[in-house]
Structure 1
Amino acid sequence: MLLMVLVPLRTFLQAGVYVATISYKRDGGPVVSLSYAMFKGASSGGVESFLGISYAKPPVGNLRSRRPQPPLPSSDTKLMSDPATTYGDACLQQNYTLPVVLGINYTGEPHLRELPVVVWVYGGAFAVGDGSTYDGTTVVVQCSVQLGKPVIYVNFNYRLNAFGFLGGKEALAGGAVNVGLYGV
């Protein structure tokens, strides 16, 4: 079975401490368990999706111009009552809304062992865009057929414009330059 899950890939690469485990609840719904939380997803057309999973604390208040911070551990009950079935908010940009979550979108296979990973970073010159405009289902199906094995697809939102790429001496002195890249 193919799987679409939102998993903190950047965290895997940077810290190597988060491990994703896929299981199934009695109601048949898929659940991904990360070291900091559990998320219930959805199944459709042989692809399992876990959308809008936070990979960092919300970039609000004093975190607005700082590097992303690891998410806080959450209770299973709270997360299970709020399924990961919709994309997170787009980051602030022209004609978009203010983000309350830095989230990623992951698509792949339940067993997650030595599978190819396709990481999609949306374009937009660090000024516009978001991960929800690119549905990973098609990529997963096409790549899985071409390679003859399941693949994992990951995309994510990151801070844009001045919220991610502030310039100037003050920003440099405060460590607030290019913070959007730390979400990538």
Structure 2
Amino acid sequence: MNDFRPQAVPTIGWHYDRMALALHWISALLLVLMTGLGWYMMEIEHTPAAKPYFIVHKSVGLIVLALVLWRLWWRSRHPVPQLPSKMPAWQLRAAQLVQVGLYLCMLVLPLAGIAGAIHSKSGLVFFGYSLPRLAAPNHDLAETYFDIHGALVWLLVLLVCVHIAGALKHRFIDRDGVFERMVPGRD
């Protein structure tokens, strides 16, 4: 009977700890919200209604950067659960490349947005409080950083789709316990 439940989830070492789980899912939620907000902002960019959305986007972007730095710090001090030894080498390499790509995007994307904001006329703000100006406004440079920021959003979306597809493959096709490593409440 194929009811999409894993039959016997093999023990493949252990799953991610609670902090890693929390950081993963909070990051995922914020990145989805920030992507949607960013795309909406581009639709209303030149209207008076846009300003509060830009303030929220910049502010949450700073929080996302702090969260990503925390994730990197946490991951450097806590081992990652093992993958099944029966996984083909190309899948292990693909998983590694997607993970590296996701982390690079999660790090560089907010940095590019922050650099663009620093060089923009409005500057960098955190929930309405202007942060110290680190550079003189430079429209062309700001736009270059915002173009990089926008391109990285699309790369992040692509990588997230590949990541989700891989997770679903492990859950519904391979049924090898890899998916369950990142599911809360699996202690």
Alignment TM class, shorter chain as reference: under 0.3
User: Which structure's residues are more often helix, by fraction?
Assistant: 2
- TM-score for both structures, normalised by structure 2: 0.25
- Bigger Rg over Cα: 2
| Larger RCO, structures 1/2 (Cα 8 Å, 6+ apart) | 2
| Structure with more of its chain in strand, by fraction | 1
Give the TM-score of the pair, scaled to structure 1.
0.25
